[in-house]
Structure formats: structure tokens, C-alpha cells
Amino acid sequence: MAYTFKSRSAASVTLLRANGDDILRLLGRTPSERGAIAAEDLPSAIAALEAAIAPGRPGPGTTRPAALGNPVDDEEPEVVTLRQRALPLLQLLREAQSAGEAVTWGVV
């Protein structure tokens, strides 16, 4: 399952459920099947997400992808950081704020 975040002013962003749960908590929201961030709440949501993904700051959601096939012994799988996962959503939040629109999410 996954979350899809939407706004009329930006492209949708889809995150795996576990990653979406982490990010919703960072935004001060309780993970749920559906929800919304009102336009007037976007500045605080953006500030919370920016603080959480600031360079050099560890955060939840950092995972190592499963290796495909037989990796060479010296190769480590790349780490997918919270920052990498959250940047598309941060862009959506910023665009929605600029347009004065809410952001909604739902589980797909």
C-alpha cells in the first residue's frame, strides 16, 4: 500500500506506506487512510519537513534497498535517505502554498 499526496497546483506524489507514515508524523499529523493539510497550515508543515531533512541530520525512514542478484563483496547498496524521499513532497507543499491550496492524501 502507498500514500498519494495531491494538490490542484502540483503533480501528485506517491510514497510507500511506511515512509508516508514517517513523514506524516514529522508534519505533526497522525497517519490515516485519508487526510488534508489546510492551506493555512502549510507554512508550519513546510518548516517541520525542512528541519527534519536538513543536511547532516539523521531521520527516520533511512533504508537500505534489498540487493538484487549477487552483489560484488565490496559493493554496499546505496542508502535511500529521508531527504531523498521527502523532497518531492516538499516541492508539492511549496507549490500548494504558493497557490493557496490545501494538500490531501489517501491510501491507494
Whether 74 is in a domain gets the answer no
If one counts the domains in the chain, the total is 1
Percent of the chain predicted with pLDDT > 90:
71
Please tell me the predicted confidence (pLDDT) of residue 89: 97
CA distance 69 to 7: 39
| β-pair partners for 19 | none
Whether 8 is in a domain gets the answer yes
| Banded model confidence at residue 100, pLDDT cuts 50, 70, 90 | very high
The amino acid sitting at 15 is L
Across the chain, mean pLDDT equals 87
Please tell me the predicted confidence (pLDDT) of residue 65: 47
CA distance 93 to 5: 9
Domain span including residue 50: 2-62+79-107
Please tell me the predicted confidence (pLDDT) of residue 80: 84
Per residue in 41-76, pLDDT tens? 999 999 999 999 987 655 554 444 444 455 555 666
Please tell me the predicted confidence (pLDDT) of residue 48: 96
Whether 71 is in a domain gets the answer no
Cβ 77 vs Cβ 71: under 8 Å: yes
Whether 102 is in a domain gets the answer yes
Whether 69 is in a domain gets the answer no
Between these two residues, 97 and 58, which has the higher pLDDT value?
Answer: 97
Please tell me the predicted confidence (pLDDT) of residue 96: 98
